[in-house]
């Protein structure tokens, strides 16, 4: 009877260990997926930053053109209107890029938090598995 109890306990611990190992593998897979997603988001953020720099350079060029075209009043007025439209368009694109950048930054922060939570869960599960293995070795 005592032997049977010990065997049942051992079987239950083995089932728990298998279950925890499966959950650990799932968490590791999820962690890898989140890392990949985080890398993709960081790459997208870098792209937005490059585009933002490009838009800022275009904006500087537009401002420079406005100053250069101010020579003659008639052409300056026409150029000013055209460049003002370009400037507004560029500012709109800049705002869109800034909004996209903020969204990516928030996503990155959320993904980093999820990754940190998964790492804590993973460490906890590893500790449980280790404790179960120690118990199993005692039998």
Domain boundaries, the chain: 2-138
Transcribe 13-39 into DSSP letters: HHHHHHHHHHHHHHHHHHHHHHHHHHH
Q: Which of 38, 34, 31 is nearest to 106 (CA)?
A: 38
Q: Check if the beta carbon of residue 98 is closer than 8 Å to that of residue 45.
A: no
Is 1.10.287 the CATH number for 2-138?
yes
Per-residue model confidence as pLDDT tens for the chain (139 residues)? 899 999 999 999 999 999 999 999 999 999 999 999 999 999 999 999 999 999 999 999 988 887 776 666 677 688 889 999 999 999 999 999 999 999 999 999 999 999 999 999 999 999 999 999 898 888 6
């Amino acid at each position: 009877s005592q032997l049977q109890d010990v065997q049942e306990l051992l079987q239950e611990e083995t089932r728990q260990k298998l279950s925890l190992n499966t959950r650990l593998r799932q968490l590791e897979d999820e962690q890898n997926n989140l890392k990949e997603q985080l890398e993709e988001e960081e790459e997208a953020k870098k792209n937005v930053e490059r585009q933002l720099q490009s838009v800022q350079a275009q904006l500087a060029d537009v401002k420079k053109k406005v100053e250069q075209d101010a020579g003659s009043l008639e052409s300056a007025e026409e150029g000013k209107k055209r460049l003002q439209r370009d400037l507004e368009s560029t500012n709109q694109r800049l705002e869109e890029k800034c909004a996209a950048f903020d969204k990516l930054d928030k996503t990155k922060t959320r993904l980093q938090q999820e990754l940190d939570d998964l790492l804590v869960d993973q460490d906890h599960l590893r500790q449980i598995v280790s404790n179960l293995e120690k118990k199993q070795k005692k039998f």
